[in-house]
Amino acid sequence: MGKEQMLIDVCLLAGRMMAQAGAETYRVEDTMTRMAAASGFPNSQSFVTPTVVMFHLEAMSSTHFARVNERGTDLEKIALVNSISRRMAEGEINLDEAHKMLKKLDEKSLSFPAWLQVVAAALASGSFLLMFKGTWNDYLPAAFIGGAGFIILLIAHYFSKVKLFAEFFAAFVIGGLAVLSVRLGLGRDLDLIIIASVMPLVPGVLITNAIRDLMAGHFMAGVSKGAEAFLTAFAIGAGVAVVFSFFV
């Protein structure tokens, strides 16, 4: 494999990994161009959308691309890829070493185990309830319902692979459990319990990245990410609304 093809593979791999981990569009493009510049190609071109990463090296006649099939949030992987690119730019590692490090990192799953994610969602839900000026009497119901909703989200996403359906079903379960807890006398403030319990489902990072991409001039990526965040928020609201329409 020639140097140019190796560089293209390295840049596309780094870009795809960062895009899949939820990095901002301008950060992905900057990382790819920095790595190319460090290898002696300062005029390379990159173009990134939420679903595809494209890269053109000035010495090549064709443009290469990599498909982004799955997207999530993994800030640790973003930081590690960014660190590899910076070390390459500073001359600490060469192109072959960067390729091996990226391949090894791509094979790793840095996500927290499912049980820990559920526990974190439960604690976050209870904490949000207190932040919204709820009472300690509703802390345990909110924590339990938030954790249960997150379990449903993981299960639904695993089987359906459709994010919007998973968010809708999780919000539906949260709304149903919240209504049930209030009717059984376990909780008091239905609205606060629901609001706190759905907070782990809210696409906060996606909304932030959409705004940052728009501010950086990446209008296509910013608008598409904003639309995805809007649809996710709509699915969450629709799930709760269905419960209210039948049981409240």
Backbone φ, ψ for residue 112 (5° rounding): -70, 150
Are residues 133 and 227 located together in one domain of the fold? Answer: yes
Are residues 100 and 163 located together in one domain of the fold? Answer: no
Question: What is the tens place of the pLDDT at every residue in 165-219?
Answer: 889 999 999 999 999 998 988 888 888 999 999 999 988 888 888 888 888 778 8
- The reported pLDDT for the residue numbered 188 is 87
Could you tell me the residue range of the domain that residue 203 belongs to?
Answer: 114-247
Final residue of a structural domain among 86, 107, 128 = 107
Are residues 62 and 167 located together in one domain of the fold? Answer: no
Are residues 119 and 215 located together in one domain of the fold? Answer: yes
Final residue of a structural domain among 50, 76, 107 = 107
Distance, in Å, from the CA atom of 30 to the CA atom of 98, rounded to the nearest integer, reads: 16
Are residues 147 and 96 located together in one domain of the fold? Answer: no
Q: What torsion, rounded to 10 degrees, do the Cα atoms 127, 145, 169, 151 define?
A: 90
Beta pairing partners, 52:
67
Question: What is the tens place of the pLDDT at every residue in 152-166?
Answer: 999 988 887 778 888
Task: Outline where 90-138 has alpha helix (H).
Answer: 95-107, 114-131
Are residues 143 and 82 located together in one domain of the fold? Answer: no
Reduced to 3 states (helix: H, G, I; strand: E, B; else coil), residue 50 is: coil
Percent residues over pLDDT 70 in the chain: 98
CA-closest candidate to residue 18, choices 53, 65, 64, 56: 53
